Amino acid sequence: MRQFFIGHFDAQSNEQYINPRTGLHTYILTFPDSSARLELMSRPDTIAADPSKPNIGFIHVSFAVGSKEAVEAKTEELRSAGFAVTSGPRTTGDGYYESCILGPEGIQIEVTV
């Protein structure tokens, strides 16, 4: 997951933090021109979600890339890297130009203007 965001969305990562008491491993990712941060966490006692089943709660993360052409280019970049494009690029019913990609760990990655 960390390499996905670094490689495709120019994220910067801190050094991995490991809590020896709980087994928690984390990375904090930051993104260019954004105050958004993403924390990636894992613990040996957690169960991974099944991406083949519908989920509730956190469903996707969206990245605005600036233009329709950039949406198309990023979508093709991710498709070429082997990620499934589940929709788009297209204009949605609420007027967004976007595509959706099934990223690592089954997380939906939305790429929009």
User: What average pLDDT does this structure show over 64-71?
Assistant: 96
Token look-up 């939906």 returns 108
What is the average per-residue pLDDT within 77-97?
Answer: 94
The residue among 103, 102, 73 whose CA lies nearest residue 87 is: 102
CB-neighbour burial class of residue 107 (10 A; exposed 0-12, middle 13-18, buried 19+): middle
Residue 41 is predicted with a pLDDT of 86
Question: Locate tokens 């087994």: which residue?
Answer: 23
74 burial via Cβ count (<10 Å: 0-12, 13-18, 19+): buried
User: Rounded mean pLDDT of 12-28?
Assistant: 91
- The per-residue pLDDT for range 24-55, each reduced to its tens digit, is 899 999 998 888 889 898 887 876 666 666 66
